[in-house]
Structure 1
Amino acid sequence: MKQTWELVNPEGVVKVERLRLSKRPTTLEGKTVVLRWNGKPNGDVFLDRVAAMLSREVKPVRVIKAWEKVPETIEPISGSQELSLALMRKLAALKPDLVIGAQGD
């Protein structure tokens, strides 16, 4: 009995589409910075430190801790594109100039 084998590349091929990056601010003075934590241990500790440093080093700056203002933004894994978009809408509603996200562990 003759067997036929087909060899395939197990890596898979992923089509990557280029994205246009958002413009980066040249300064944080007068900006609103939203800090986003995903609920993992110590991510909030890191972002608390970032908030303290920003408040001390940048005048004026408005720092919003999203997990305190909108607790439902604490989501370790969004799980789907729809949930990710919903999370982005919640963060966008805070009117940030910049979002800094952190996870812990």
Structure 2
Amino acid sequence: MSVEKAQNVSMTIVNPVAKVESKTITPAASLTSLEGKKIALWWNGKAKGDIALKTIAARLKKEYNVETELFTQGWPHGDEVYDRVIAAECQAAIATTGD
């Protein structure tokens, strides 16, 4: 087995920190009751998050007569997901995240 020695090698050192972009939003007022409300269920596509949201939806419907609508976030995502939830006139949202 032979080992070759590298000559004339150059390296560039870079800082891998990404530029942070933020957006300020005004949070919605807290609901005084869930009774009869329309709730957005926001699934980001992570494993079994949809199952958790379906379980939550069934419980909310049974206990508070809540209507739910499932929104699935694609990747990459942008503001269109927020726009769809707003257009659906939901009074609140429940989201799942995780790996």
State the TM-score, normalized to the length of structure 2.
0.67
- Bigger helix share: 1
State the Cα distance separating 1:55 from its structure 2 match: 1.0
- 2:92 is the counterpart of 1:86: no
State the Cα distance separating 1:19 from its structure 2 match: 5.6
Distance 1:19 1:66, change over 3 A: closer
Structure of higher CA gyration radius? 2
Between the aligned partners of 1:98 and 1:29, the Cα distance in structure 2 is: 12
Counterpart in 1 of 2:50?
A: 44
Distance 1:54 1:19, change over 3 A: same
Between the aligned partners of 1:90 and 1:21, the Cα distance in structure 2 is: 17
Task: Specify every segment of 5 or more residues in structure 2 that has no aligned partner in the other structure, as ranges.
Answer: 1-19
Counterpart in 2 of 1:65?
A: 70
Q: How many residues align?
A: 79
CA RMSD across the alignment = 2.3
Counterpart in 2 of 1:29?
A: 35
Q: Secondary structure of 1:27's match?
A: coil
Task: Specify every segment of 5 or more residues in structure 1 that has no aligned partner in the other structure, as ranges.
Answer: 1-13, 68-73
Deviation per CA, 1:17-63, whole angstroms, max 9, x where unpaired?
986432010101121011010111010011011001101111x3211
Between the aligned partners of 1:17 and 1:38, the Cα distance in structure 2 is: 19
Distance 1:48 1:23, change over 3 A: same
